[in-house]
Amino acid sequence: MSNSKKHSWEVSDNQENPASMAMLYATGLSDEKMKQPFVGVASCGYESNPCNMHLNDFARAIKASTVEANLTGMVFNTIGISDGISMGTAGMRYSLPSREIIADSIESFILGHAFDGVIAVAGCDKNMPGAVMGMLRVNRPSIMVYGGTIRSGKYKGEKLNIVSAFEAYGKRIKNEINDEDYMGVIKNACPGAGACGGMYTANTMSSAIEAMGLSLPYSASNPATSPEKAAECEAAGTFIANLLAMDLKPKDILTRKSMENAVRVVVALAGSTNAVLHLLAIARTAGIDFGLEDLKQINATTPVLGDFKPSGKYLMEDLHEQGGLPAFMKYMLDNGMLHGDCMTVTGKTVAENLANVTPVKAERGNVIHPLEDPIKATGHLCVLQGNLAPEGSVAKISGKEGISFTGPAKVFNSEQEANDAMKNQEIQKGDVVVIRYVGPKGGPGMPEMLKPTSIIIGSGMGADVALITDGRFSGGTHGFVVGHVTPEAYLGGPIGLLQNGDVVTINAETLEISCNVSEETFAERKKTWVNKDLSHLNGTLKKYSQLVSTASEGCVTDKS
């Protein structure tokens, strides 16, 4: 019996479990395959979005690679919720909960069937952190394979991506685009398979996970339809066999230092605010003491170097053409920004993986700016606190919006109310739009507010209107926005007590989010405050609302 078959022998070779053996033989396994380590290939594939529609094909290729490596690979499926499809609808409430369902699925399958290892194939935003959390829970040799970024679209000479479609709606409201061109953008924004192309949440999290050592080098930046991505899938079996032989597990790889690497890469690339939620959740799942204050310190000492959409010019495919994420990581390592001694799923350290990699050419006007001439001298993921967010909030300030904003609150108790107000042009320059009761418990599910921010940008008011919410933002969001306001309105947080006309101040320099309302006034308002009624909830959202922790704790449902 192989030393790598530490768990599956119980179901494939233990004479006291004849029924499990009989069922495995019924699937067509030979005596030889029964003696090999069992590797689960977890696919987040489904047919209804470009980020995931190719993942089942990747899973089959990865299974074939396990056969070549003398392993018994078996494909199983978990779910995914498309943020792009559900955005602005009631379905968006299921997006963040899907992360927990994915982690639950991987844990349940691998431990329920006594598999020895797992290769997770993930494509969209919540797939990847969900897969990594599942890998950490089972803590058996594991690799995550990213489905890859999408190629850019094109219409009338303009380079497009998914956010182009959202922002076209704002232009349509202002009659700056006709119906033909509006549909032209929509039909050409996404040319095929792959996750959203800018430094949105999918590419942010793939970069973070590669930086923390849980995916193979280049996984984050190999485009979905590239020969490099196909080769990565074909190599996965060899690498998981090596991990099984070494008995190298996710919790051996993920340490505080590798978490620091992940955060530094996310900040340097100007990644999504969602990374804050997911990295906190991953650290918590791994049992690593790493919180908002740690992220705040790394952000303060890390410059923004990546000129990526949504606030910049480039897409992940552009970095791929210049050497991919390893070329960027080599530039960071050479400049003392990464811990090179962290272990990875290759069985080698970060420094060993990057030893023969040529660093990216960092220069102004390129995808990556040089350290001596950064896009922003300190990080863009600002953790703000104050009397509106006593337990914290997160803003994505690229520097292009300015560093502070003060204005009267326009308060809305749902995203739809805010969208309708914008559609009717009721939002004026200088307003601070407040969207509340969309937090993890009160949403429930903490939906993303990409639609309202895209309307603001598309209507030309990106520099003149701020938005704060106890919900969260897509990686595609840009502008003067603050999310993850904690405590959320549903828990009686101050954001739930704001009224129209209260003056709100957001300051990225002092890291403050406050309003001109005294504690005494808040206390008076609290006496007549009526909470959102969630008695109608059932099923997934009811369970999630009852179990989920705060945004400042990563929105995990396992709080142990």
What is the set of active-site residues? Answer: 474
Assign 3-state DSSP to the chain and report helix, strand, coil percentages, each to 5. 40, 15, 45
d(CA 545, CA 7): 35
Average pLDDT over residues 508-523: 95
Domain co-membership, 230 together with 333:
yes
Judged against a pLDDT cut of 90, whether residue 305 lies above it is answered with yes
Provide the pLDDT for residue 453: 84
User: Which of 163-172, 463-472, 492-501 is least confident?
Assistant: 163-172
Domain co-membership, 335 together with 475:
no
CATH number of the CATH domain containing 54 = 3.40.50.2300
Exposed/middle/buried for residue 283 (C-beta within 10 Å: 0-12, 13-18, 19+)? buried
- Domain count of the fold of the chain: 3
Cis peptide before 447 (omega within 30 of 0): no
Judged against a pLDDT cut of 80, whether residue 401 lies above it is answered with no
Assess contact for 486 and 552: CB atoms under 8 A: yes
142, 175, 191 — which closes off a domain?
Answer: 191
User: Which of 227-241, 281-295, 366-380, 390-404 is least confident?
Assistant: 390-404
Domain co-membership, 223 together with 336:
yes
Annotated binding site for Mg(2+): 83, 125-126, 448
More confident residue, 96 or 160: 96
Residue 524 CB coordination number (10 Å): 12
d(CA 50, CA 319): 21
Strand, coil or helix: 482: strand
Domain co-membership, 528 together with 409:
yes
Half-sphere CA count of 357, side-chain side, radius 13 A: 24
Q: Which domain holds residue 110?
A: 37-151+192-354
**CB neighbours of 46 closer than 8 A, spacing ≥ 6?**
52, 53, 55, 79, 80
User: Which of 165-179, 191-205, 239-253, 412-426 is least confident?
Assistant: 165-179
CATH number of the CATH domain containing 455 = 3.50.30.80
Work out whether strand 38-43 and strand 153-155 pair parallel, antiparallel, or are unpaired. unpaired
Provide the pLDDT for residue 403: 83
d(CA 120, CA 504): 44
Average pLDDT over residues 22-37: 98
434 domain residue, yes or no: yes
Average pLDDT over residues 62-67: 98
Domain co-membership, 103 together with 208:
yes
The whole-chain average pLDDT of the chain stands at 95
Residue among 553, 476, 388, 442 nearest 167 (CA): 476
3-state SS record for 106-141 = HHHHHHHCCCCEEEEEECCCCHHHHHHHHHHHHCCC
177 domain residue, yes or no: yes
360 domain residue, yes or no: no
354, 369, 404 — which closes off a domain?
Answer: 354
Domain co-membership, 518 together with 401:
yes
269 domain residue, yes or no: yes
Domain co-membership, 162 together with 198:
no
DSSP 496: G
Domain co-membership, 522 together with 457:
yes
d(CA 191, CA 8): 42
Q: How far is CA 253 from CA 114, 135, 352, in A?
A: 22, 12, 14
Provide the pLDDT for residue 560: 57
Residue among 53, 106, 56 nearest 233 (CA): 56
d(CA 546, CA 559): 12
Average pLDDT over residues 24-49: 97
More confident residue, 102 or 458: 102
305 domain residue, yes or no: yes
139, 166, 191 — which closes off a domain?
Answer: 191
Assess contact for 337 and 266: CB atoms under 8 A: no
Domain co-membership, 235 together with 88:
yes
Tens digit of each residue's pLDDT (9 = 90 or more) over 412-447: 999 999 999 998 989 999 999 999 999 999 999 999
Judged against a pLDDT cut of 90, whether residue 367 lies above it is answered with yes
215: amino acid identity, one letter: S
334 domain residue, yes or no: yes
Residue 364 CB coordination number (10 Å): 12
**CB neighbours of 448 closer than 8 A, spacing ≥ 6?**
83, 87, 92, 95, 274, 471, 472, 473, 474, 477
47 domain residue, yes or no: yes
Domain co-membership, 81 together with 144:
yes
pLDDT above 90: percentage of residues in the chain: 87
Provide the pLDDT for residue 310: 87
10 domain residue, yes or no: no
Judged against a pLDDT cut of 80, whether residue 399 lies above it is answered with no
Write out the two tokens for 339. 């811990």
Tens digit of each residue's pLDDT (9 = 90 or more) over 139-151: 999 999 999 999 9
Provide the pLDDT for residue 1: 56
Domain co-membership, 140 together with 263:
yes
Annotated binding site for [2Fe-2S] cluster: 51
Domain co-membership, 350 together with 255:
yes
3-state SS record for 326-350 = HHHHHHHHHCCCCCCCCECCCCCEH
Average pLDDT over residues 65-91: 95
Assess contact for 506 and 468: CB atoms under 8 A: yes
Element (H, E) at 500: none
Average pLDDT over residues 333-359: 98
Question: pLDDT band at 128, cuts 50/70/90?
Answer: very high
Judged against a pLDDT cut of 70, whether residue 480 lies above it is answered with yes
How long, in residues, is the chain? 560
**Interior angle at CA 137, CA 133 and CA 140, nearest 5:** 110
d(CA 440, CA 553): 11
